[in-house]
A = this chain, B = another copy of it.
């Protein structure tokens, strides 16, 4: 009955599909995911242009130029970047040219200004420049009709620039998904409110809201819902029409007051399962009656965070339009500098602190006392999660482990 981390991740991913595509202004596309292939409608560069500040020449004219025996050419034009002038460079002449300006008719090479006298009327050239030298040829980057970026690509700064460079003012992207976050638990008070005996400040709704925003979602943080079935049903009922995904924390275990499970488990679209993960064993997921996907995480903050990373973050990325390897954070191998134990039969995801030492990545548990799942404050130092396979029970100093970087 218990399922692996990968099986549960696939099940949660199966709840969501990418959000609808819409058209936005290019500058509003940063960080969103393309819902179209972006094609170059003309070649890049658009025209032969100079890669240097200097002179456009006929290579044959300067083939014998040396500092001791320079060649003198009459300057027939002055070409700034952006000019549409087309002075013809005939034998014995040159055009002054700036980086990016179109190479004029007749010229086939550029002489950098540094090997000339920088003349305005006549220029002295002291080095040869073979045909094609310092000329960026039309189409050498992209041919007309080439796909510059595929649908499903996240518009990183570099890719946004690529879309701009083919002249697009708008892009078709997936809508940023709306994620509703709520933390359940009668022991929780909003931070700043004085807790009674038995109560603690809510941290999960802040944790999950910030993590969902960092994953690229627009977040509605509902805050705390007490362990009352009616109040929970009301909170879910009021919110889910607007949400692409609802994330709850708490109330999914075997306790007598596990209200999320009590309210949601009877719904036909919902499942509450055990995952072979530590922490994060009890998990809920499914569809609310109106079809809104919901993922119910355990309430312990470390469990909630680890579960978010393993299951909810990939689902948010899929909603955004990403797929395949792009749903995962990069993994790296790291050497352990302080060992810890791991439960048999469960894949452990343990918060670690990463130190880089001359190119080598070193890790140790972020919590001073090992893998305890309740040590919120001492885990503020965590910048990664180490993933320990289910069949490993002891991680020893000097071992290498797989690490997911979660900060920076």
Interface residues of A (CB under 8 A from B): 26-27, 30-31, 40, 44-47, 51, 53, 78, 80-86, 96, 98-102, 113-114, 136, 140-142, 146, 148-149, 153-170, 185-188, 190-193, 195-204, 206-211, 213-214, 221, 226-227, 253-257, 299-301, 305, 326, 329-333, 351, 354, 356, 359-361, 369, 374-380, 382-383, 402, 405-408
Question: Min CB distance, A160 to chain B, in Å?
Answer: 5
Q: Does the CB pair A376–B141 fall under 8 Å? A: yes
Most chain B CB atoms below 10 A, which of A157, A376, A402: A157
Interface contact A256-B27, CB-CB below 8 Å: no
Chain B residue nearest to A358 in the complex (CB): B333
Q: Which chain B residue shows the least CB distance to A300?
A: B99
A349 CB, nearest partner CB in chain B, Å: 13
How far is the CB of A172 from the nearest CB of chain B, in Å? 14
Give the residues in chain B near A78, CB-CB below 8 Å: 256
A45 to chain B, nearest CB (A): 7
A47 and B161 within 8 A (CB): no
Instruction: Name which of A31, A47, A206, A208 has the most chain B CB atoms within 10 A of its CB.
Output: A206
Closest B residue to A304 by beta carbon equals B161
**A257/B227 in contact, CB under 8 A:** no
Cross-chain contact B185 with A53 (CB below 8 angstroms):
no
> What residues of chain B lie closer than 8 Å to A406, measured between beta carbons?
156, 158
- Chain B CB within 10 Å, residue with most, of A44, A101, A376: A376
Chain B CB count within 10 A is highest, among A198, A202, A256, for A198
Q: Given contacts A253-B53, A331-B356, are A227 and B81 in contact (CB under 8 A)?
A: yes
**Quick one: which of A98, A155, A326, A380 has the most chain B CB within 10 A?**
A380
Cα(A359)–Cα(B401), bound, Å: 10
Q: Are B408 and A329 in contact (CB under 8 A)?
A: yes
CB-CB nearest in chain B for A42: B195
From B148, B195, B402, contact of A46 by CB (8 A): B195
Task: Check B374 against A207 for contact (C-beta < 8 Å).
Answer: no
Whether A157 lies near B408 (C-beta < 8 A) is no
